[in-house]
Amino acid sequence: MQRVTTYSNAGLTFDVIDEGPVDGPVAVLLHGFPQRAASWNEVAIRLHGRGIRTVAPDQRGYSPRARPRRRTAYRMENLVSDTAALIRTLDVGPVHLVGHDWGAAVAWPTAAAHPELVRSLTAVSVTHPAAFMRSMVGSQVLRSWYMGFFQLPWVPERVLGEDVGARLALGRAGMTPEMVETFRTDIVEYGALRGGLNWYRALPFTHPRMARGRVVAPTTQVWSDGDVALGRRGVELAERHVDGPFELQVLTGVSHWIPDEAPDVLAEIVCERIDSAENKGFQPRGH
């Protein structure tokens, strides 16, 4: 088997971090906003020690050769297509898909639309899109105020591109000063901020069917009680949209940034899901 350092889809080229035992079970790790593939490093190291190969891409808008300017290019359909193309490029059969934040938002519809490509799913800090929409009738709408703010042209770039604005906004979300500094170098200075924001700006253009798919793969939903962006109701509703085995893991005293704050615990959860899917057959519930 060969390492994958880049792959292409729809005329775009994506950078990839491919590490760990080359012949081990493959976990594809999808990062969220405003981070890149390296945000998985601490979790990945722990997975390697358990014999798992990790493949983490810098996604659309983040990789320098994959930054289309129009916001419609960042519709969920395209983000799912990017992930499916990566899995097919690996040519290893179905993979264990793991996503944090926006990475989880992409992982859910990828698993639903391409069950032949996903052996298991671990969604971190973001619930199934249909569960999320249902939770918006309650307090979730207040937690998600920033999604409306990010629709504005230029203003979010201006606020997050300045040190004071970044420290205030991201610090309130639970990022440490060190994480904010990484954001400045890896996102702002790297030229990835606009692309990351375009994921939010493309939401009005995403087809509703992307929120309706059911997942048949064994699934673990991970949520932390210190998450300011996602309430508990949304994650508790996720199970209704999964036909395979489902487990909800709740971490206490941890903010939204679970891969950064609790890599040991998260790696163990991912390993448990992978081990279960690798060693046990399953039937969708109700069959």
Q: Tens of pLDDT along 224-252? A: 999 999 999 999 999 999 999 999 999 99
CATH code, domain with 11: 3.40.50.1820
Determine the longest span between alpha carbons in the chain, in angstroms: 54
- Top pLDDT among 102 and 282 is at 102
Helix 76-90 / helix 102-113 crossing angle, nearest 10 deg? 70
Provide the domain count of the chain: 1
Contact between residue 279 and residue 254 where contact means Cβ atoms under 8 Å apart: no
- Top pLDDT among 88 and 149 is at 88
Contact between residue 33 and residue 196 where contact means Cβ atoms under 8 Å apart: yes
Domain extent for 140: 6-279
Q: Assess if residue 285 is contained within a domain.
A: no
Is the per-residue pLDDT at 1 higher than 80?
Answer: no
Is the per-residue pLDDT at 211 higher than 50?
Answer: yes
Closest-CA residue to 209 (of 27, 76, 10): 76
The residue type at 252: T
Closest-CA residue to 107 (of 91, 88, 86, 128): 128
Q: Assess if residue 1 is contained within a domain.
A: no
Q: How far apart are CA 180 and CA 222, in angstroms?
A: 23
Using a pLDDT cut of 70, give the percent of the chain over it.
97
Q: How far apart are CA 262 and CA 68, in angstroms?
A: 33
Q: What are the DSSP calls for 47-112, one per residue?
A: HHTTT-EEEEE--TTTSTT---SSGGGG-HHHHHHHHHHHHHHHTSSSEEEEEETHHHHHHHHHHH
Give the model's confidence band at 280: pLDDT under 50 very low, under 70 low, under 90 confident, else very high.
low
Condensed to tens digits (0 to 9), the pLDDT of residues 152-163 reads 999 999 999 999
The residue type at 40: W
Q: Assess if residue 14 is contained within a domain.
A: yes
35: Cα separation from own chain's centroid: 10
Q: Assess if residue 38 is contained within a domain.
A: yes
Q: Assess if residue 258 is contained within a domain.
A: yes
Cα 230 to Cα 17, 114, 287, distances in angstroms: 28, 26, 32
Is the per-residue pLDDT at 259 higher than 90?
Answer: yes
Cα 159 to Cα 153, 154, 259, distances in angstroms: 11, 9, 25
Q: What is the pLDDT of residue 140?
A: 87
Q: Assess if residue 286 is contained within a domain.
A: no
Is the per-residue pLDDT at 283 higher than 50?
Answer: no
End-to-end CA distance of the chain: 36
Q: Assess if residue 239 is contained within a domain.
A: yes
Q: Assess if residue 19 is contained within a domain.
A: yes
